[in-house]
A = this chain, B = another copy of it.
Amino acid sequence: MRFFSDNAASAHPAVLEAIAAANHVDTAYDGDALSAQLNAAFSDVFETSVQAHWISTGTAANSLALAALCPPYGSVLCHKDAHIQNDECGAPEFYTHGAKLALIEGDGAKVTAAALEAKLAATPAGVHWAQPHALSITQATEYGRVYTADEVSALSAICRAKGLGLHMDGARFANAVAHLGCAPADVTWRAGVDILSFGFVKNGGLSSEALIFFKPELAKGFVERRKRAGHLLSKGRYQAAQLLALLDQDRWLTNARAANLGAQRLGAALRGRLIHRVEANEVFAAVSADEAAVLRGQGFDFYDWAEGEVRFVVSWDQPEAEIIAFAAALAAL
């Protein structure tokens, strides 16, 4: 029973069906009929006109967003535990051509307005220190925490005042929206987000994420950068099909709610052991090495996050029986 991560879960049946339905010749690259629907489909979701593009991975989505916001000689502010800092083998540096990531600390991998202001105040002006051009936040964070619309707005107000762009890494954006119960617009462009990496792969997709530009001028150069990164697939219709299938009938939200609910169940079983509040589909708990061994002996797989600390992630398709079994096992520790 795999609670190791949601990144290897199965694809939603509707995704496979959409791929099969797209299996006929159409114009190559993103000139096909399905890719042509993306702007409208995502504009509906966000209640405003957006530019939406498919891209194979969240790493590429994030990096292309940062390349749009930050010149090679600038810096991007982010949390020290951000995925872009720790888990992408320098992809942001590759795509931005060497921009620096300037790190901010904060509980639950969240950047607070106060921490952002302090970081900016501590950054000398001038040509010697790479000047900040953007802030990137993760929604939900690497610790499964969720920014409220007000929190995002507070950050974007600072960004606006300082001329910084605001990127949201939404690898688990669906889980965040499901948790907040708000409109997707509320926690993105209405709160000042400029570009969103909207994750689908962890949420039932197969190989397609979306990159959403809320300001068309920021998309300048995107299609060229995607092409030269080798991310312009020639049969783009299969990429678009995945996104449309998950938007259809709000499957992305349904899937996220299921995962979040499972996490809540595990969290409830763990009460005193929780290291971070459970908001999305990730659970961080104090579990000793001996206890971890016991759980593994019972067939549960998960991530050893740190000394005495483990991470459980509930996937969109996690069987309820597995969740119940795991919750019971956790409660019995």
User: A: which residues have CB within 8 A of B?
Assistant: 2, 5, 7-11, 16, 19-20, 23-29, 32, 55-61, 63, 71-75, 86-91, 93-101, 127-131, 201-202, 206-207, 221, 223-225, 227-235, 238-239, 315
* Residues B100 and A229 in contact, CB atoms below 8 Å apart: no
Partner of A201, one of B32, B56, B71, B234: B234
Partner of A10, one of B23, B129, B206: B23
* Residues B73 and A228 in contact, CB atoms below 8 Å apart: yes
* Residues A129 and B230 in contact, CB atoms below 8 Å apart: no
* Residues B221 and A207 in contact, CB atoms below 8 Å apart: no
CA distance A61 to B230 in the complex (A): 8
CA distance A257 to B296 in the complex (A): 51
CA distance A60 to B16 in the complex (A): 25
Partner of A130, one of B2, B28, B61, B89: B89
* Residues B98 and A94 in contact, CB atoms below 8 Å apart: yes
* Residues A73 and B90 in contact, CB atoms below 8 Å apart: yes
* Residues B88 and A128 in contact, CB atoms below 8 Å apart: yes
* Residues B88 and A72 in contact, CB atoms below 8 Å apart: no
- Taking CB as reference atom, which chain B residue is nearest A317? B25
CB contacts (< 8 Å) of A127 on chain B: these are: 29, 89, 223-224, 227, 232
User: Could you jot down 29 A-B contacts, CB within 8 Å?
Assistant: A8-B28, A8-B234, A10-B25, A19-B206, A56-B207, A56-B231, A57-B232, A63-B230, A73-B224, A73-B225, A74-B90, A86-B128, A87-B128, A87-B129, A88-B128, A88-B227, A88-B230, A89-B127, A89-B130, A89-B224, A89-B228, A91-B230, A93-B98, A93-B228, A94-B229, A128-B227, A130-B224, A229-B229, A230-B231
